[in-house]
Structure 1
């Protein structure tokens, strides 16, 4: 029996069609090849190799320390695991802010070296100019407004944004400016649902929410959050669909106990040499 044909790679046109049809877009983060394969087989539409890897994979306390080379390594691993979903690479802090030339050069690396379909950058302000430059270079851009982790310190920490009328208006203006600059998709994070609803009405491009309510065109969650891989508190918007940390802890604990008790490895986990070869080996050793 032949293997099933690989799913057709999705396009930006497919995302636009989903938006027009009211069909929700499913996006997850992933940081390695096994996770990418699971995302592929689960049928998600988009995979983001987020700079959240700094915290979920590399053990940092924020997204800021992760480097371009680290992000490229992780993104290449994910690329090798994907066929159908669109791959988005997160440009890390310090890799695009200084100039249009730097932004384009970094984005080109993510496309050429890691096979990204789109790149993501954070905030409005001068980032709007960087988005315009990258899009003009022929690379699709995902904008990101609301809680932008790369600038969490200046935002007062990891907390919801746009909770006053003035702050919400500024956020909406940033989103519209990013769309006008050529962004193909927008991520909106940790924003009141009422603000999101008003924003989505004013945008033509697909909007992916994370902690921004149900009025977006799609949703994204961090891999380790939705699978329950990490311990400790999570953001209000996180729903854990599994407890893989608990399952892993139990499994490794069982393994450790069996090794210490001698129950593992059992005969069924052990390779055997044919009796005649063992006899011959013993004779050869004895003759030395």
Structure 2
């Protein structure tokens, strides 16, 4: 049996590949640029796949029985149809807890993930949705400032999130791929603690042996800075998300312990493992 892993260039996808190999599974890693998958072990089959394009889709799916899928609305229905025709029996989707959040009906992040979930529900293929909260890796956005001793420009330094280690996301996804008990389940994945942005920045700075200074900026300034990297609608959603969580710890979920039989990895551990990025 071959398991197809999309998004294999990302941290979660690469971790899924490694865990599947450790479990003795045959893995086919897909990327729009397979030549970039140099960090993957040699035994991994590398294939070209652009989910927004039908080119090569049927060839990529030959012999595939399970898929780890990143949520990309463009081409989701085409992929589901081709997967069903190829005999794929189970798709594990990396989805988002934005679907469960306040304002999900107007959030482009929630909407794009919900669209792919809906496509898979209607596909006739077995599915598992891994709805992850904020990734611990989001803290890497602060690496240049912390390395260079510059202040972090934050509009809502006390806004809380529940950062989840990419290894936990991957471990849950792999368990869902290999264990039929999670077919048809929606797994909600968070880290074990609700931490403010300031607390997270202090943890990574401490792990790296650096100081951190927060400079408060206005929401309007923050929105303008974000729109240099993401569409305006997404930037507005992120600002509204932080405003809603300003000074408000949120709940964490127990699906990681339930699936893996161990506690979720704390953000402080992620900070220590990635300290070099902040030095």
What TM-score, normalized by structure 1, do the two folds share? 0.35
Name the structure, 1 or 2, with higher relative contact order (CA <8 Å, separation 6+).
2
Say which structure is richer in strand.
2
Higher-Rg structure is: 1
